[in-house]
Structure 1
Amino acid sequence: MRLLLVEDEPLAQQRIRSIIGRNFPDWEVIDAIQSIKSLKEHLKNTGNFDMILCDIHLADGLSFRAFSESPELSIPVIFITAYDQYALRSFDHNCLDYVLKPIDEKRLVKALEKAVKYHDQGSKSILNQELIDSLLNNYKSKSYKKRFLTKMGNRYVFISAENIAYFYSEDGLTYLVESGSSTRYIIDHSLSELESDLLDPLKFYRINRSMIIHLDDLIEIKPYVNGRLALSMNTKAEANLVVARERVNEFKNWINQ
């Protein structure tokens, strides 16, 4: 199987390559590109590959723009993205499967195995009711946590998700910081759980390994050393809030959604 990989985050690109290498050693990534401009050029010669693995948010916009200019595209596309709100729209662009980040290896392997069946059967139609039903059940109606139960002294307190400035981890504990007051509370969720299942990705973003911010509390973005970004929040933070270099492009796309 010959693949075109469209991904502008180096770490995500590396993880996808490693998963393919472990599970499908005979497959070949023909090229790895990072922009809509490059994708448009490759779509002019789709005979060079059998499948496309494609992020949706790229540095220069949504990859859908490139696919919309290639209406006769016949090869399958597996979209790999941190955003679930584009799931139904992906069907307009030969979507075979839709894999959410952070990438789970078993989930991606399942999608790639589906591509093998598609390729072997020479299918002319990618759409299938099973996938449509799955997307409708898992993405369209997905709800997120509206409040968090925390403990303060000998009493319990509910903090609305709308009133949270950011989450951070320290010494094995996860804290939420309340907007305005800067009061912090310990919660029983890891940052990974918050990022993947509990928080609305349109409002919350994990800027580095130890912090998730709320968009509504963000007031300023400045360049920082080594290609990173420094953030200023409306709620006072004890430490610098810095976007990790490998997340900068995705963060900009998230801000610009």
Structure 2
Amino acid sequence: MFDWLASPEGWAALLTLSAMEIVLGIDNVVFISVLVAKLPAEQAERARRLGLGMALVFRVGLLFALTAIMKLTYPVLTILGEELSWRDIILIVGGLFLLYKAVHEIHGEVSGDAHEDARAAAPRAFLAAVAQIAVIDLVFSIDSIVTAIGMADDLSIMIIAVMIAVAVMYLASGVVARFIAENPTTKVLALSFLMLIGVSLVAEGGGFHLPRGYIYSAMAFAAVVEAINVWSRRNGKKREATQMDENGSQSGPPA
């Protein structure tokens, strides 16, 4: 099972697949970060751990069901001349769910209802977040494992690559979630990313492949611009605070 350890090709396959799984995990990280950002700190950490734990369980479990997973790529129905497999249907449903969730959350941010709902029903918000993370974990896991099967033949390579990717996702999700929680304006940007990801999933399920490289490049560019804006706002607040202190010290105590 581990004969590939003595093979350069095996290590190359592991590194390539790990990189691919990490890239595919970006979608998962963004979704989890957005959902946990509106939860209290303790619940947010629990939800994040549960979500990533489920991501790992789903992925490894699906790897041990390779035969069933491969059957998901067989056409099961035809709509408007386009053959759809179970994988296509799952991607379309998952993409539509992401679109609905992103639009609903953006509407809540604009109207202010999201913050009121979070304060009014914290326990239900936690359960709802975990349930939604589980659904999207399953969608992304199927997409991830189908990709893994196409890139490697050894089950142990695929399992190790998935574990590496989930470990990176765990480290990254904490940073992303904290950044979104500390900078509320970035939440709308993250929700816009989810809309973009939802569109790509629906398109891929319908047989139209959108290169992920273009999508992630656009996301990275927008994230860098937003990071510069956040940095600029923080520096502006520091300058204002410094000027106020200087003005206060110059005026001196009243006579």
TM range (shorter): under 0.3
Higher strand share: 1
Higher helix share: 2
The TM-score with structure 1 as length reference comes to: 0.26
